[in-house]
Amino acid sequence: MGRISLPENGMNKEDVLSRLESFKSDDVKWHDGQLFGLIYEAGQDVEDLVKEAHSLFLIENGLSPMAFPSLVKMETEVVSIVTALSGGDDETVGNITSGGTESIFMAMKAARDWARETYPNIVKPEMVVPVTAHPAWNKAAHYLGLKINMTPVKDDLRADVAAMENALTENTIILGGTAVTYPHGMIDPIEEIGRLAREDNLWLHVDACLGGLMLPFLKKLGNDIGPYDFSVPGVTSISADIHKYAYTPKGVSTVMYRKRDFRKFQIFAYADWPGGVYATPCLAGGRPGGNIAAAWAVFQYLGEQGFLALAKKARTAAEKLMDGINAMPQLCVLGEPRATVFAFGSDEINIYELAARMAERGWHIDAQHLPPSLHMTVSPIHLAAADKFLVDLRHTIPEVPPADSEELSEPAAMYAMLGTMPDRKMAKEFAVEYINDLYRVS
């Protein structure tokens, strides 16, 4: 195993920066819209703004509201904007977290601790969540000692609420729904799940990490987006990521609660530390001020009209891509996605090999399974890239072997193998080994 130690003498600044720049050479080229996921790009002006706003508060620490009231002001204003966009009212509260995973984690922790007080007889709490929910839910369940029961989705790839009802046990405390699901871009029937939550007084968390800052604008533009937010009775908490469709650097999300009484279960306080009374709203201790400032800046800079224009661009790009893909006889978009995220598959050609061949043309598309498909998270900048993508796709299809071909390139074969391995425990172990191996100096 390699080892890198601290250099004896420092390098000059120019050399450090040029080394950093050189590290990017093997990274995916995302600026031209060649990546569908991971990065949400609105354009150069927004990127420049968030960079400047971020660097103004780069060093400030969100841990201390006393030392940095500026960050508390910006955080509460950002949360107020996002709660208003999420159907909240004067009672709705929330915080900025480091991302969707932390937001979901905090909501699950609050729900668990609420249930400890509300249902003291439940010692083995459970939650019921559709299989299309993001793995952040499984991670939260794992860390928090909650049993997670995953229920199937219907043919339209949205939560099957009858299956959720059947999965309820006397230990169930939490129900989950997602708007927009990552794998297929669907909006779960939150109103129906809300009814279920109210019947049994369960905590309902809506994961709007992906859709929270896109759906309100698509709705205003006249798209058919059903109710999914605090306007639905029974919704207790919502997560909405700012670092997705509000285009900030990674590390900014919001977790919101219908009322203060629920948020108190999120907060951690320890009063007996020699370092003083310690209390934090979320998981992190120190929190990057730059991220909070970037979030505040993007809302002020774009305003409602700016967000509407970007939502329109992203949806137009998604429609163009979906129509173009559906027009290719070998390919088919899964379900009827209403927002800016979708997946497509094929009964005829090997979809993983298609991704591998498109990668040779510079397009980075993530592979999915159950069923095999390719993932497309569409950003406003994809409007300019959509035609080129469709041309490349059309040219690539004839090179791709049939769906059941065993003659696949290495990345396609690897993904096909992992997706179809009947022993899912083995697939999990493989993934752990992969990560364990990856993070070491080579």
Ligand X SMILES: Cc1ncc(COP(=O)(O)O)c(C=O)c1O
Positions that interact with ligand X (CB under 6 A): 99-101, 134, 136, 178, 182, 207, 209-210, 241, 253
Closer of 288 and 324 to ligand X (Cβ): 288
On whether the CB atoms of residues 145 and 108 are closer than 8 A, the answer is: no
d(CA 157, CA 348): 21
- For residue 283, the minimal CB distance to ligand X (Å) is 12
Backbone angles phi, psi at 294, to 5 degrees: -65, -40
- For residue 110, the minimal CB distance to ligand X (Å) is 17
Closer of 106 and 416 to ligand X (Cβ): 106
Positive or negative torsion for Cα 206, 210, 215, 217: positive
On whether the CB atoms of residues 223 and 315 are closer than 8 A, the answer is: yes
Scanning 119-189, the segments in alpha helix (DSSP H) are 135-144, 161-167
- For residue 137, the minimal CB distance to ligand X (Å) is 8
- For residue 101, the minimal CB distance to ligand X (Å) is 3
On whether the CB atoms of residues 122 and 173 are closer than 8 A, the answer is: yes
The residue nearest ligand X at its CB is 100
Contacts of 414 (CB under 8 A, 6+ apart): none
Closer of 348 and 366 to ligand X (Cβ): 366
Token pair 């993001």 is at which residue? 134
Closer of 129 and 408 to ligand X (Cβ): 129
- Nearest alpha carbon to residue 386 among 309, 332, 307, 313: 313
Q: What DSSP letter does each residue of 202-256 carry, written as one string?
A: -EEEEE-TTTTTTHHHHHHTT------STTSTT--EEEEESTTTT-PPSS-EEEE
- For residue 179, the minimal CB distance to ligand X (Å) is 8
- For residue 175, the minimal CB distance to ligand X (Å) is 16
Closer of 187 and 358 to ligand X (Cβ): 187
- For residue 286, the minimal CB distance to ligand X (Å) is 18
d(CA 165, CA 161): 6
Q: Residue 125, Cα to own-chain centre: how many angstroms? A: 25
Closer of 108 and 349 to ligand X (Cβ): 108
Closer of 68 and 137 to ligand X (Cβ): 137
